[in-house]
Amino acid sequence: MAKPRACRECHFLTIEDQCPNCRSTNLSSSYTGIVVILPGSKPHDDPRKHSYIASRLNIDKPGKYALKVR
């Protein structure tokens, strides 16, 4: 399985050549830490409302993200 790369714009982890979250092609294979943001109780709930990590990283959609992208 290919190692996912992290989007430099939104930190989303993907194995595609383009970030499915923000459509950026600015991807990095050099990152540290993985954060998984779980969906809230309601669909399309903003994770920043119930997750400190999501609000610190400004993540507005559940998914797998890199903690630090170089």
Residues that bind Zn ion (CB under 5 A): 7, 9-10, 12, 19, 21-22, 24
Residue placing its CB nearer to Zn ion in the complex, 23 or 49: 23
Least distance in angstroms from the C-beta of 9 to Zn ion: 4
Longest dimension (CA), the chain: 34
Residue 34 is which amino acid? I
Note the Cα 11 to chain centre separation in Å. 4
Residue 12 is which amino acid? F
Q: Cα(69)–Cα(6) distance, rounded to whole angstroms?
A: 7
Residue placing its CB nearer to Zn ion in the complex, 22 or 67: 22
Residue 43 is which amino acid? P
Residue placing its CB nearer to Zn ion in the complex, 10 or 57: 10
Least distance in angstroms from the C-beta of 26 to Zn ion: 8
Least distance in angstroms from the C-beta of 58 to Zn ion: 12
